[in-house]
Amino acid sequence: MLKLYESIPGLSVLSLRSGSPIATIIAPLINPNNLYLEGWYVQDPDKKRLVLLSQAVRETLPQGFVVNDHDDLSEPDELIRLKETMEHNFELIGKHVTSQSGKSYGKINDFAFESSNFFIQKLYAGQSVIKNIAGGTLSIDRSQIVEITNQRIIIEDPVVKEKAHGIVPSIAS
């Protein structure tokens, strides 16, 4: 099931062992190479910033993420495999979206991820009210993404499909 990112920060990390919240979700830890949510930065009751790896999440609920216990939260220094990803400090929200031909589609204001595998599936971009009177949001599937840089996300140019002009049979009277 797809979950919107905007509903996640501030949710609790719930422990199966203690039956209570053990941390609060702060921000995502995104791998820009494959748009995988490697984990989440969380804050425990002692105000310590830790990382909850996505593979430790047993279930996602409206109240938050369920894990076994506090041992599923890691110090950032302990995660050697993710050191490069953490140093990159990739932020998806606010990234500019342009097409291959250079047309601007605004900035990312939200994204949706699959709660079963934590891959980002959809990006949502919007332009400022001044540029877009209708105030619409563009939905971008991960398959439309061509390149991700530190400054922007480049997507395929939209293609307008024309209706096939065939011979329309006439009706006999």
Confidence of residue 138 (pLDDT cuts 50, 70, 90): confident
Q: Which residues contact 28 (CB under 8 A, 6 or more apart)?
A: 5, 8, 37, 39, 40, 41, 92
* Strand, coil or helix: 83: helix
Confidence of residue 5 (pLDDT cuts 50, 70, 90): very high
- Amino acid at site 158: P
In the predicted model, what is the mean pLDDT of residues 122-135? 72
Average pLDDT over residues 130-152: 82
pLDDT for res 132: 57
Cα within 13 Å of Cα(84), Cβ side: 4
Task: Report pLDDT digits (tens) over 50-95.
Answer: 999 999 999 999 999 999 999 999 999 999 999 999 999 999 999 9
- Provide the β-strand partners of residue 23: 13
pLDDT tens, 111-123?
999 999 999 999 9
**Whole-number pLDDT of residue 158:** 74
Give the mean pLDDT of 115-137: 79
Q: What is the mean pLDDT of the chain?
A: 88
Rounded mean pLDDT of 95-123?
A: 94
Domains of the chain and CATH, by start: 2-88 (3.90.50.10), 96-155 (2.30.30.240)
Decide if 61 contacts 46 (C-beta within 8 A): no
Rounded Cα–Cα distance for residues 10 and 62 (Å): 12
